[in-house]
Each structure stands twice: as C-alpha cells, then as structure tokens.
Amino acid sequence: ASILDLHSGALSMGKQFVNIYRYFGDQIRDVFTQEDFQLYRDVRGRIQAIIARTFDLDPTLLYLTKPTFFSRINSTAAKTQHDEYWHPHIDKVTYGSFDYTSLLYLSDYGSDFTGGRFVFMDQNANRTVEPRAGRVSFFSSGSENLHRVEKVTWGTRYAITVSFTCDPAHAISDPTLP
C-alpha cells in the first residue's frame, strides 16, 4: 500500500515516508500543476457540500481535516504496520480529528482489481461497498461505523480519502502547490 498526502507532501516509499516537495524541489511543478490543486479543491468542495446536506449540517461549520490522502493498494505484502489496511477500525479512534470520512474511488472493482471492497461491520449484517471510479462513499467517523477494507488480491485499487471535522481547532487549509 502507498499513500500520498498532498497537504504535507508525505509519500510512503517502502518502509519510510519521504516528502515529495523536498524530494522534487523546484521540479515539483513538472509533477503537479495549479490545475491539479484546483481540481482537488473543487472535488473537496463538492464532497463537503453533499456531506453537509446529507447530515443537515451548516457547510461553513464543516472543515477539512488531516490526514487527507490518495491511496494505492495492491496485493504486495505489507512492508510496515501502516500498510496493513485490512484491519477493522473506527476512523475517529484511529485519526482523532475525523467527524466525517469520505472516499472517492478512482478505479473499478472487478476490472481494475479484485478484493479491496469496503466493508461496514455490523453485528446483524455487514454492508459492502464495491468501488467504482467516481463513486463517493461517506459516513460519520464514530463507533457506529466500524469498517475494514478487504485485501486486494489482484490489480490496483486507487482512492482519495477526504476527511472533515466540526472542530475548527482541527481544521486545515486546502493544499497549495509550493
């Protein structure tokens, strides 16, 4: 599994993280453009608006929080504990600042990868989301939404996790191109 946090520049590489902004220096503009960051802001705004509408929240009181990241998951064996994405967890417990979690899928279950489905775990019955490119899944981040991701068995699963908080003390700004 690999992650990229546009805000901090953290990119997982093997058993460590590197800062892509420091790694590429001035050449980062050959990797990302202002348009890439504008697209991210637009997508984040759309997701924020639909979460606010769905949960009857004032969108101006819902703030982007960290970590917010792109993920790439394949069937390669985990190199670190952080690569073990398949364990059941609660986002509010894992990340602290999360009140609402969203995932925008960038690849398709069944054609780009197998395994990798998102599973909400419930005592009565699990609920499973099959990723499709462009599909957005979002939920409150508390104990009511214990979940896990199935291990990817073939191909590569891409997604963006965009998280929100109701606490302005945990708010972050949209990422910018250095």
pLDDT at 82: 76
pLDDT at 14: 81
- pLDDT tens per residue across span 110-145: 999 999 999 999 989 999 999 999 999 999 999 999
Q: What is the CATH number of the domain that holds 96?
A: 2.60.120.10
pTM: 0.94
| Residue 133 located in a structural domain | yes
Under a CB-based contact definition with an 8 Å cutoff, are residues 105 and 132 in contact? yes
Domains: count for the chain = 1
pLDDT at 156: 98
pLDDT at 122: 92
| Residue 148 located in a structural domain | yes
CA angle, residues 100, 103, 106, in degrees to nearest 5:
165
Under a CB-based contact definition with an 8 Å cutoff, are residues 129 and 155 in contact? no
Q: How confident is the model at residue 84 (pLDDT cuts 50, 70, 90)?
A: confident
Residue 86: which residues within 8 A CB-CB, separation 6 or more? 148, 149, 150, 151
> Domain span at residue 113?
2-170
Instruction: Please say if the pLDDT value at position 102 is more than 90.
Output: yes
Active-site annotation holds for 72: no
| Residue 176 located in a structural domain | no
With tokens 């606490």, the residue in question is 167
| Residue 56 located in a structural domain | yes
- pLDDT tens per residue across span 37-57: 999 999 999 999 999 999 999
d(CA 109, CA 96): 29
| Residue 124 located in a structural domain | yes
pLDDT at 21: 96
Name the active-site residue from 22, 29, 46, 157.
Answer: 157
